[in-house]
Amino acid sequence: MDTSSIDSFQKGTKDVLVQCRDVLTVLLSDYPEYFCVDIIIKPTNNVKIYLDGDKGISIERCVFFNRKIYGLIEEHGIFGSDDFSLEVSSPGTDKPLKDQRQYLQHIGRTLSVSMTTGAVIKGKLVAVHEKKDIQIEVQEGKGKKMTHIIVDLQWADIVHAIVETPF
């Protein structure tokens, strides 16, 4: 693929992405408990939409949204005459949290938070403040000298956070 083709694909993908996001925004306005976490469009016109809900999202709900979104993409001719495939799923526990609403679901769970400074802070999520920060309870010291402190992490300083899965 030459440079002009790559530029054309990137511009086309951006336009398609905006159109997909617009269609999804309108659809989800009827289902306010659900929200879009991410949309990825691959060069093969494979559209991956990651949805979540304030109380999680079931496989049945993903299938429901897949059918609705597929119909809307076709109806609006977003891919023109080109074929496309669509996958709708939850982001999964191994994916970084992207939306502030996702953090609310994980209060009480352990997060590994990567900061803009390069530091990684691991602790239990104890509070989420929409406009300001999140609060993490971290352990300092060991044994009898171990203490728990609350650390405020500003949204602007968080690169990403991953929920730690206990085994």
**Does 95 reside within a domain?**
no
**pLDDT greater than 50 at residue 132:** yes
**Does 138 reside within a domain?**
yes
How does residue 14 score in pLDDT terms, banded at 50, 70 and 90?
A: low
Residue 122: per-residue pLDDT: 95
**pLDDT greater than 60 at residue 8:** no
**7 and 83 inside one domain:** yes
* Number of structural domains found in the chain: 2
Q: Are 50 and 36 spatial neighbours (Cβ–Cβ below 8 Å)?
A: yes
Total Cβ atoms within 10 A of residue 27? 16
**104 and 83 inside one domain:** no
pLDDT, average across residues 18-36: 94
Domain-ending residue, one of 89, 122, 137: 89
Q: What's the mean pLDDT when you consider all of the chain?
A: 88
More confident of the two residues 143 and 37:
37
Residue 94: per-residue pLDDT: 83
**79 and 31 inside one domain:** yes
**84 and 8 inside one domain:** yes
Q: Are 27 and 72 spatial neighbours (Cβ–Cβ below 8 Å)?
A: yes
**Does 112 reside within a domain?**
yes
**What percentage of the chain carries pLDDT values higher than 90?**
65
How does residue 81 score in pLDDT terms, banded at 50, 70 and 90?
A: confident
pTM score, whole prediction: 0.78
**10 and 55 inside one domain:** yes
| CATH classification at residue 140 | 2.30.30.100
Domain-ending residue, one of 66, 89, 112: 89
CA distance 116 to 29: 33
**109 and 67 inside one domain:** no
pLDDT in tens, 102-119: 999 899 999 999 999 999
Domain-ending residue, one of 61, 89, 117: 89
Instruction: Please tell me the total number of residues recorded for the chain in this structure.
Output: 167
Residue type (1 letter), 117: T
How does residue 1 score in pLDDT terms, banded at 50, 70 and 90?
A: very low
**109 and 66 inside one domain:** no
Domain span including residue 147: 100-163
